[in-house]
Structure 1
Amino acid sequence: MKIALLGCGNVGTEVVRLLDAQRSDLEARVGEPLELAGIAVRRPGKDRSDLPVDPSLFTADAIGLATRADVDIVVELVGGIEPARTWITSALELGKSVVTGNKALLAEDGASLYEAAAAANVDLYYEASVAAAIPLLRPLRESLHGDTVTRVMGIVNGTTNFILSRMTQTGAGFAEALEEAGDLGYAEADPTADIEGYDAAAKAAILAGLAFHTRVTASDVYREGITEVTAADVASAKRMDCVIKLLCIATRDADSVSVRVHPAMIPNDHPLAGVNGAYNAVFIEAEAAGQLMFYGAGAGGAPTASAVLGDLVAVARSRRGGARAVPQSSYAQLAVRPMGEVITSYHVNLDVDDEPGVLAEVASVFAAHRVSMRTVRQSGRGDDAVLVAVTHPATDAQLSATVAELAKLPTVRRVDSVMRVEGELGRWAETGAA
């Protein structure tokens, strides 16, 4: 069975090595050999003598390779929207199955790819697009196909999780932790997609679409990054027995779904709180299965290549047997709720004047917007006076309006930080103790 590999970067290189190292095992699992028909790269003449492959297989003609008559499966690992969309669509239309890790394309225009695959009766697999080596998408698409998933919450970006973990462990500021992530290879030269939440938002769209059988695109996902998270926020979370994580949260009710990515405080006893470094974890709740958690290496060449090879074997076996895997399903057609209607809790840290009546004034603003305060703590004197409030759940619109009005109070010198809160807060929330 002949494979066209589009892209030979960090992940593609590991795919080539694994195909060679596991050749006999892969043949036994599939029932026939998996053979590279060609590898599309930008610079075919580059020295790649360290790879166990004939140099003549390298080509700059990606579309020519993807549409070659003798190719059975196309593996796309270049990323981006175009020309990857054209390559994949052309291959599918010609009856070739496709394996891809292209989260950006799937989140923006997965619908057209699913339709092309269905029309040609071939497979489109993309396990590597979310959480690398963690078996996550196939359980959502197949293992939980007979259940109703109600919530997906997870850490799906290793770079931001490393940064927030270091801020928690060392007390470092954001800039310092980002620099360390770059030095260790966890952050790209341009880390915007990671630290601003775009990468996680694309993954959230893919997860929500599979979990809720509804078309969800990246533009449907509410997104905030971690660039505004400060060492003071991390310290405040610690006082509450919490940590701060960049979370992807997707929930379903009877007739709609909500999908969001933003930093949030979660209690230390939450299963996601102990996920540190560049690791990923996703917490799934389903009506019959209950609570499930998937954890592991969420990035890196070898882990991602592992997911690609898993898909490749599944697609090859399906193709050899004349069958087709479970297709992507969007029958539910649920509406996507705007962020303003989503129910959340907030942690609000205010720099206030040290004078009588401030607490009452602040409380009146919360009350005016019908937001109940779960706890409130006032500390410090003079220029160091601060007031910290944690709310009961309310709509995000109510909470946002509350914060906007608080910022206008004469007795509020500054709104130091605003952070959403997920999960039960335990003793601090019950007593307001620091």
Structure 2
Amino acid sequence: MTNSTTDAPGQRPVGVAVLGHGTVGAEVVRIIRDDASDLRERIGAPLELRGIAVRDLSYDRGVPAELLTTDAEALITRDDVDIVVELIGGIDLPRTLVRAALDAGKSVVTANKALLAAYTGELAESAESHNVDLYFEAAVAGAIPVIRPLTQSLAGDRVDRVVGIVNGTTNFILSAMDETGADYAETLAEAGRLGYAEADPTADVEGFDAAAKAAILASIAFHTRVTANDVYREGISNITAADLTSARALNCTIKLLALCERVTGPDGKDRVSARVYPALVPREHPLSTVSGAFNAVVVEAQSAGRLMFYGQGAGGAPTASAVMGDVVMAARNRVQGGRGPRESRYAKLEIAPMSDIMTRYYVNLQVADRAGVLSAVAAEFATRGVSISAVRQEGAGESARLVVVTHRATDRALADTVAALDKLESVIAVTSVLRLEGSAE
């Protein structure tokens, strides 16, 4: 005799509705249909596809026509649907559908980082009140398991910092610029030809995508609701080939980083900082080796120390893998009568203003090639309490440049320094200001 749920006769199937049949949706549907036997064993009951909501029924999608519908609202409220998988993208329509599904007592799996970065609180409260699951592993870093380790494996630890490369498009562009010496526009065009960049790449290259993911990571890591509006954001569109050349001279590369960390406020209390920007990363740092369209996230916890998660951060199959992991978890909970982790927001930490954040800086100046320039520049840094770690001159004559690397200083102090440098007669232009992350200094 056995107590295994897989051997229980007549176990009620778990019904799944999929919203969207794009690259990821099609792969999720394929897995549900092709791997039905294995999924049944893992879950303890059959996993059955009830329907697929699409915008257009006019062309062949390779699935039985009776599974397709344009009426998503009717599909998600069907009595035989237990789990709704939202893969539409955008915010307004998915918010309406996901909220309706949760309110109808359906568990929801989504890969929609923009939706979660704006409305996690609202959706989590609905899931809580209706005793259902809201899972979103695929919303950050594709196939890389990051959400579940933060919510479960590290639930008994204190996370102090999460930093990562969470956007494959920008990492491909910066990696290619570093390796080939090409400029930003040329590399962006190549990313588009290879399918790494969208026709409108704004969400990626200006950091909006990474900022949404940073908001999700910060919310989970620090038990505080953080939205995309709380995340300081800069993109990579102003990065030049000269910046990469200077970075190489400093034994660094440049990466678009999402950084989430606990910082101490003036009152001695913990605050949350969430920010996205391109930064110099020393070659010895593990994130410097993440190239192409790959993603990586480093978590620093008090007891566990430094943990690194690395892999494919986008694409149909990798993202579908993360989605299906959530589907299996939600289905198991349905069969066994349990629930996954609830939203944890007990800490309610304040958001630290960017002006108070301390880091190191790289400042590239085009200057007049004459005596006294260095002392005038150094004086402006010293006046505002920004200590200089290293200075290097590049070129001569009209192309003379000073590259200044600072010790740690506040964003406010550095901004005031840059404003003062802009007014110096000997400074023709402040051409680049980048942060330096991952250094021991």
Tell me whether the two structures share a fold, i.e. TM-score over 0.5. yes
Q: CA deviation at 1:425?
A: 7.1
State the distance in 2 between where 1:239 and 1:170 align: 15
Q: Secondary structure of 2:279's match?
A: strand
Partner of 2:347: 332
Counterpart among 374, 378, 381 of residue 359 in structure 1: 374
Equivalent residues, number? 423
Matched to 2:99, the amino acid is: T
Q: Secondary structure of 1:272's match?
A: helix
Partner of 2:120: 110
Q: CA deviation at 1:383?
A: 1.4
Q: Map 1:5-404 to 2 at 5 A.
A: 5-49=18-62, 53-253=63-263, 254-404=269-419
% identical equivalent positions:
60
Change (3 A) 1:330 1:226: same
Partner of 1:430: none
Partner of 2:429: 414
State the distance in 2 between where 1:20 and 1:58 align: 14
Q: 1:294-345, CA deviations, whole angstroms, 9 ceiling, x for partnerless residues?
A: 0000000000000010000000001111011111200000000111111011
Partner of 1:429: none
State the distance in 1 between where 2:342 and 2:281 align: 35
TM-score relative to the length of structure 1: 0.96
Partner of 2:6: none
Matched to 1:217, the amino acid is: T
Q: CA deviation at 1:387?
A: 1.0
Contact 1:267 1:425 in 2 (8 A): no
TM-score relative to the length of structure 2: 0.95
Contact 2:73 2:97 in 1 (8 A): yes
Change (3 A) 1:74 1:392: same
Q: CA deviation at 1:67?
A: 1.2
Give unmatched runs, 5+ long, in structure 2.
1-13, 264-268
State the distance in 2 between where 1:404 and 1:24 align: 65
Q: 1:49-68, CA deviations, whole angstroms, 9 ceiling, x for partnerless residues?
A: 3xxx3211100001111111
Contact 2:110 2:135 in 1 (8 A): yes
Q: 1:205-257, CA deviations, whole angstroms, 9 ceiling, x for partnerless residues?
A: 00000000000000000000000000000000000110000000011134201
Matched to 1:93, the amino acid is: D
Partner of 1:432: none
Q: CA deviation at 1:423?
A: 2.1
State the distance in 1 between where 2:93 and 2:74 align: 13
Q: Secondary structure of 2:413's match?
A: helix
State the distance in 2 between where 1:248 and 1:34 align: 36
Bigger mean CA deviation after superposition, 7-16 or 383-392: 383-392
Bigger mean CA deviation after superposition, 123-132 or 381-390: 381-390
State the distance in 2 between where 1:25 and 1:206 align: 31
Q: Secondary structure of 1:43's match?
A: coil
Contact 1:349 1:387 in 2 (8 A): yes
Q: CA deviation at 1:20?
A: 1.8
Contact 1:37 1:57 in 2 (8 A): yes
Matched to 2:224, the amino acid is: T
State the distance in 2 between where 1:182 and 1:380 align: 34
Give unmatched runs, 5+ long, in structure 1.
427-434
Q: Secondary structure of 2:286's match?
A: coil
State the distance in 2 between where 1:20 and 1:310 align: 15
Q: CA deviation at 1:186?
A: 0.5
State the distance in 1 between where 2:440 and 2:106 align: 51
